[in-house]
Amino acid sequence: MTKGAVSVCVESFAVDAAVTQFAAVVQGAADGSCVLPGGQNVEGFLGFTQAAQSTAEDSVPVMTDGVSAAYAGGAITRGHKVAINSAAGDVYDVDAAIEAGLHTPAEVIHAVGEARNSVTGAGQIVYVKIRPLVIPLAVS
């Protein structure tokens, strides 16, 4: 499946450090800035970059609402919720964790949206309907 982003809302953010195209980014150090995430399932999601930017403090377009291309961190099933997978800004399928229900210790999933297509492995393009959602999973 190849298509461009379905644009609903693209905002411009200054980058704290270099970012790649279609990477999930989170809030940066200052208002109006963004940065690649610090790791898996982090909070502060802003959206997906629509271009690469290698110069700190220059701006990058970030899709904050709509459907954006993103890189998969592994297999993802269409219709499943996804969250940030790594510091690279890729995403992973979190439906199994949600469906498992109770966890020890308690966990919070910071979903960033829903996959619009299925992919079989890391590095493939998945289209994500941006829909940030915090999902608390209670202690079992």
Give the residue-averaged pLDDT of 17-24.
97
Q: What is the pLDDT of residues 70-119, one digit of tens each?
A: 999 999 999 999 999 999 999 999 998 888 776 666 788 999 999 999 99
Q: What pLDDT shows up at residue 112?
A: 98
Question: Model pTM?
Answer: 0.91
Q: What is the pLDDT of residues 37-74, one digit of tens each?
A: 999 999 999 999 999 999 999 999 999 999 999 999 99
CA distances from 139 to 87, 100, 102 (A): 27, 12, 5
Rounded Cα distance between 48 and 10, Å, is 9
Q: Is the pLDDT of residue 5 over 80?
A: no
Q: What pLDDT shows up at residue 100?
A: 79
Spell out the domains of the chain, with CATH numbers in brackets: 9-64 (2.40.300.10), 69-137 (no CATH)
Which amino acid is it at 6?
V
Q: What pLDDT shows up at residue 30?
A: 95
